[in-house]
Amino acid sequence: MSINSSRNTLVFIKEIELVNGSNDFIYDYYLKLSSNPSGFYVADLDSHTELKLLEKNDKFLDVVLAQYCFFSETITYLFKKSIADDNLALRLACLSNMSIGKSGLGFFCLPKALFNIEINNSISDDFRSWFSTITTGEIYTLFKNETIDGEFLTEFLQFEGGLWDALDDDKKVLVLISLADNTKVCKNYDGPMDGYAEYLHSNLFSVIWDLAKKLPVEKKWGFPLGYLLDKTNDFRRKFNSLEVAKRWSSVDEIEKKKQDLNGFESIRFAIYKDVIKDLFGEKLKNKSHYANEDVAYRACAYVQTDIKEDDIKEAYKKDGLVAIEYIMRNLRVWKNEKTRNVLKQICRDADSTSFSFFNHLDCANMFKWKRERLVKQYPSWFEDKDESVEELDEDEKPLSLGRSRELIQEFKDDISNSMLICLNYFEKQIMTIRWIFYGVLALLFILLFR
């Protein structure tokens, strides 16, 4: 649909520029326009211009328009063309389009915009036919797209409309993994004040959490669901965390020191977040959290609580690399120099004991990488606390302002002493030369008047 039926002069001129421009010019224009789609202006472009560009029948421009177009007519045409031509690359370009969802020009969002279906309308037979044969690449691209329609996604994850059942389990697993990489599942509402819009936004989070109550308790769901819940905003409705966590317990789990959490434990780790948050500092003390019999609960406590130096050491003795991984996530540990140093020590110990045969430095490198990121984010935490200084030789230590002045003064004193020694030496040599000179003159005088 056109946003300006009268087609003002500016948009008409823009059409002439684009239709007669080079592919590079058109690509650069769309790239710039799509960088701020919410700032789209009526004189920038209209649907007639995009349809004129489609008439050029240029494969390069088709991909550009598929990825950056602003109007549903354009993407509908290109998506149907990609299906007719069995052109997977063009379909993936359409599925990665974010301009339509962000510009707010109409009532179309992906994936319904692919078939020119308005947001509130039910899906068509063409849509169902495509979705029943969707490839793994299409799944990942669509469900990772942050502009995917929230209402569509909510209905899909509630197993409504038959689309969930159209996928086999491997593709459903990929859906969860793709959503975990989508910023939509962890983004707070930032739209205008609208109670219903806010409800719809948060309802998606609740539906995702409800998957822990609905999916079969099978190993294949463990890591994907745990990964997704760990990323999703913690908004739950009618959710008994302890009961749901118990659902994902297994009699086959053996409590022992290990390197990481298994799939079921990763789900329980995510579920326990609100339990520990509610109990932290109120009904239970920290040490009660660390003594829990479930390693997933302890791992969650290592992240959520204000853990102290001795607790970090005990956690490492009990849970080894699991403790290191989850203590590493706790920002309270990084903010405090003492706890930070203890974390650094146990990372060194883990590398020298757990992986010494392979000569790995996994924990030390993870500590270094995390520290570099946090120094950029929270520089005040690390001011005047360069932990690398203790490892340097005296000559390699970075100089402070005070130490620099001391060294300069010492250098000046050394120079002054050396100059005095040289002057005394030269004075003595001059006296010696003077006496020799006088002696030679006296000898010449005697020889001349002899």
**Per-residue pLDDT tens digits for 2-44:** 444 557 788 888 899 999 999 999 999 999 988 887 666 766 7
Which one has a higher pLDDT value, 447 or 138? 138
Give whole-number Cα distances, 94 to 2, 87, 91, 114, 220, in Å.
20, 11, 5, 8, 30
Report the greatest alpha carbon distance in the chain.
Answer: 140
Residues 6 or more apart in contact with residue 120 via CB below 8 angstroms: 107, 151
pLDDT score of 407 more than 90: no
Average pLDDT over residues 215-240: 95
Model confidence at 53, pLDDT cuts 50, 70, 90, reads very high
7-21, 103-117, 144-158, 248-262: which has the highest mean pLDDT? Answer: 144-158
Model confidence at 432, pLDDT cuts 50, 70, 90, reads low
Q: How far is CA 391 from the centre of its chain?
A: 31
User: Which residue, 190, 227, 188, is CA-closest to 204?
Assistant: 188
DSSP per position, 225-256: HHHHHHHS----SS--HHHHHHHT--TT----
Which one has a higher pLDDT value, 250 or 165? 165
What ranges do the domains of the chain cover?
Answer: 1-117, 134-237, 240-391
Q: What is the pLDDT of residues 293-350, one digit of tens each?
A: 999 999 999 999 989 999 999 999 999 999 999 999 999 999 999 999 999 999 999 8
Q: What is the pLDDT of residues 116-127, one digit of tens each?
A: 887 777 888 999
- Cα 431–Cα 435–Cα 441 angle in degrees, nearest 5: 145
The least confident of 26-40, 387-401, 411-425 is: 387-401
Give me the pLDDT at residue 219, please: 94
Which one has a higher pLDDT value, 374 or 35? 374
pLDDT score of 61 more than 90: yes
User: Which residue, 264, 265, 251, is CA-closest to 299?
Assistant: 265
Average pLDDT over residues 69-88: 95
Average pLDDT over residues 164-181: 96
Rounded Cα–Cα distance for residues 163 and 314 (Å): 49
Give me the pLDDT at residue 442, please: 67
Rounded Cα–Cα distance for residues 90 and 86 (Å): 9
Rounded Cα–Cα distance for residues 46 and 9 (Å): 12
| DSSP H or E segment with residue 189 | none
Average pLDDT over residues 178-192: 89
pLDDT score of 369 more than 90: yes
User: Which residue, 140, 85, 147, 77, is CA-closest to 114?
Assistant: 77
β-bridge mates for residue 284, sequence order: 280
Give first-to-last CA distance, the chain, whole Å: 131
What is the total residue count of the chain?
A: 450
Give me the pLDDT at residue 111, please: 94
Give whole-number Cα distances, 287 to 280, 284, 371, in Å.
10, 8, 26
Using DSSP's 3-state secondary structure scheme, residue 280 falls into strand
Give me the pLDDT at residue 397, please: 44
Q: How far is CA 110 from the centre of its chain?
A: 24
Give me the pLDDT at residue 394, please: 43
Give me the pLDDT at residue 383, please: 84
Average pLDDT over residues 158-185: 95
Q: What is the mean pLDDT of the chain?
A: 84
pLDDT score of 270 more than 90: yes
